[in-house]
Structure formats: C-alpha cells, structure tokens
Amino acid sequence: METTLKTKKEITDGEDAFMSSPVKTEKGIDSSEAIPEALSIKMEKGNDGNDNQSEASINPVDKITSLKTLGPFIASKDNTRNIRYLSDVPEICLRESCMLGVDEAGRGPVLGPMVYGIAYCPLNSKETLTDLGCADSKELTEEKRDVIFDNINTQHYANSCIGWAVEIISPNVISNNMLGRKKCSLNEISMNAAIDLIHAALEAGVNIAEVYVDTVGPPEKYQEKLQKIFPQLQITVAKKADSTFPIVSAASICAKVTRDHSLKVWQFPEGLKLTSKDFGSGYPGDPITRKFLSENVNYIFGFPRIVRFSWSTAQNALSETACVVEFDEPDSEKPKYAGPKLTTFFQSTTKTGEVQREQCRLLKERFLDSVVDF
C-alpha cells in the first residue's frame, strides 16, 4: 500500500508537545493546532481489497459531518499533539435539561492515542439512543460502531438531539507526562481529559443536568472529585457504565471509532511508510504489534512517536536493543553542616536530673564555664 503526504508545517520541529495553545475555529471545532493549508493523501487498495481510506484524494476538512469526514479531519492534524473536536450543539440541548456520558477508548494499548469522548442529549431522548443501537462499544463489531457513529452525524432524528465531543490524547503527550520530571499518571491524564470535555460542553451552552462517567480507579473517589468541580450537576460514576447507561455507550462509540480511524490515517513524522496493517491494534498481546516494536527500534532515539515509551512493553524492548543512556541527576546527598545539629541542644537528662550536654563551642574556645550556683 502506497501513502503520499504533503503538508505545510505550522510549528517548529523542536517545540514541546505540551506548549500548544488551543485555537478555536468556527462551527464548534476546538483543537490544539490549526489545519495545514495543503494536505493530500492518496491510498491504494491492498491485495485483499480493504484499504484504510478511499482511492480518491482526501481533502482537508474543518468539520466532521459523517464517518467519511472523520479520517480526513484527523489526518489534517499534528498527531504529536492533543486534538479536541466538538460537534455542533443541537438547539434543543441549549433549552432542555440534558444528560451527558463520558468514556474512553485505547487506555491499554502500547501504540497510538487514548481517546476520551462525551455524548449528550435531552433527558427525554433515551429512545433515540435505543433506536441507534447504543451499547458497550467493546461488544459491538467495528462495522456496527461505524454505522452508529455515521447515523449520529447524518440522520436527522439523531443529530437534531445528540451532540458529542472527543479529546485525542497523543501517545507523545502520554509519554512526556508519565516520564517527565513532574510525573503525571495515566489516571490523572484521563481525569483531566474528562473534566476538560465537560467544561467544554458547558461553555458551548449545553444545558447539562446529569453526568454519567465510566470510572477510572475507585468510583467513589472519582465521583467525589467531579462533584466538587461541578457542584451544580448530578454526577454518577460507576464501573462498566458503558454497558449500563446508553448515553455512556454513545460516548464510548464516539471515542472508539475516533481511535480506530486515528490509527488508520496515522502519518509517521519520522518518515516511515507504514499503514495500520503493519502495526496492528496496538495492544501488547497483538503479534503484529510485537513485531512492529521489535523491527522499528532506533539504536539512539528508540521508537517512533506512535509508541507510548512509558509502557513496560516498550521499555523492555528498548532495554534489549537500544543504547543505554545515563542522565546526570542532582546531588541527592544531605548537605553537611559545619556546626552541631539543632537537636543536640535538646538532649534528655539523666535519672539524677543532670543534663548531658556538650559545652557550647563559644565557651569552650574561651575556656569559660557556665555558672549555675552562686
């Protein structure tokens, strides 16, 4: 399969992954960088007839209106940075009280982004979610998830009352956060993404009344944290919420479909000419993923940035084949003081009441004694 990419860079090569300020474009899009001016991607079908994209050239898009436009939108972004997208808010969601669901996709893989998604609709629109077939995204086939996502965006009965948003968390950002001097755990990254998406929906004017979240860690502590941040909302955090609450299922489907297509249109900044068939699902147990990791280790720089360096699977592979690098750490030894420690002046007395204390250096040097009896 042949891939050709032409793009106009808008950022400097050495810029850190975190140092991006959100740029809000029209029609509900909010991402960490602007869309490149020129982008042309051409995909040819493989021998099995299944291609990652259509044979036609993909033009950059600034709005996701269907499944067909999802890939081109993601492909037009810098995949070393986080990307956030908010759909248009249905008018009814501005007036009527809504429920909002939160879920993620791609938490466990060693390759590719983790995607957080939200979906929202009026409290009285539960039947619409049922008609769409919203269920736990892990229980649905990829084809079924794609159909539901496309229907959410193209069918009037759905897009007139359901809105959604996603945060695509780059593997580069995950690695930098988890391995930096000021470490940030994956749970913290996940919670921050969920909180930011809820804030984004509120700022867009969505009349949120109830929030349902698939938990990260202990649900009680997570719920308490969210309730403090959003005291005006009724929040429920539960295990396997995506199989219990249809609105969480809708969020799960949006997140999962977005991650799947992020991998399908992944462009390697390192210049590798590979497709998703060459690196597999990204899960450590996938033999194709393991083969990709073993065959794409640079002796000095390690893996391409699609890999999460903070995963033990990646670290073990690097320890076997990559160069060992040592970093100078600041001296961790305790400073040595010239004088006595302060605690020496607070020593206990003997059984007879005498204080066992060394004479002060000032008195000792001058051959003086403390006078206690006159």
Q: What is the pLDDT of residues 57-104, one digit of tens each?
A: 456 688 999 999 999 999 999 999 999 999 999 999 999 999 999 999
In a domain, 239, yes or no: yes
The token pair at 85 is 């997208």
In a domain, 209, yes or no: yes
For residues 334 and 282, which has the higher predicted lDDT (pLDDT)? 282
Return the number of other C-beta atoms located less than 10 Å from residue 343's C-beta: 7
Structure tokens, 247:
């609105």
pLDDT at 12 over 50: no
Calpha distance 152→164 (Å, rounded): 9
> Mean pLDDT throughout 126-138?
86
Question: Tell me: the pLDDT tens digits for 135-148?
Answer: 766 789 999 999 99
User: pLDDT tens digits, residue range 335-360?
Assistant: 555 566 666 666 556 666 665 666 77
Q: Which residue has the higher pLDDT, 185 or 138?
A: 185
Domain span at residue 158 reads: 67-265
Report yes or no: 101 and 251 within 8 Å, Cβ to Cβ.
yes
The number of beta carbons lying within 10 Å of the beta carbon of residue 58 is: 20
In a domain, 276, yes or no: no
Contacts of 189 (CB under 8 A, 6+ apart): 114, 169, 173, 174, 177, 178
Q: Taking the CB of residue 109, how many other CB atoms lie within 10 A of it? A: 24
Task: Note whether residue 182 is domain-resident.
Answer: yes
C-beta atoms surrounding 166 within 10 Å = 29
Confidence label for 365 from pLDDT (cuts 50, 70 and 90):
confident
Any domain includes 137: yes
- Residue numbers in the known binding site are 103-104, 214
Beta bridge partners of 39: 7
d(CA 168, CA 183) in angstroms, rounded, equals 20
What ranges make up the beta strands (E) of 176-244? 208-214, 234-238
Residue pointed to by tokens 């040097």:
365
Residue 201 located in a structural domain: yes
Contacts 24+ apart (CB under 8 A), 126-135: 126/246, 128/157, 128/158, 128/161, 128/162, 129/162, 129/246, 129/247, 129/249, 129/250, 130/246, 131/157, 132/158, 132/250, 134/246, 134/247, 134/249, 134/250, 134/253, 135/243, 135/246, 135/249
CA angle, 77 then 153 then 150, to 5°: 85
Reported as a pLDDT band with limits 50, 70 and 90, residue 50 is very low
Q: Can you tell me whether residue 16 is helix, strand or coil?
A: coil
- CA-wise closest residue to 80 among 326, 246, 304: 304
**174 within some domain:** yes
Binding-site residues for a divalent metal cation, in ranges, read 103-104, 214
Q: Please state the separation of Cα 290 from the chain's center in Å.
A: 22
Distance from C-alpha of 164 to C-alpha of 74, rounded to nearest angstrom: 16
Domain of 176, CATH number, reads 3.30.420.10
- In a domain, residue 233? The reply is yes
Of the segments 225-234, 274-283, 329-338, 361-370, which one has the largest average pLDDT value? Answer: 225-234
State how many domains the chain has: 1
Q: 244-282, pLDDT tens digit by residue?
A: 999 999 999 999 999 999 999 999 988 899 999 999 999
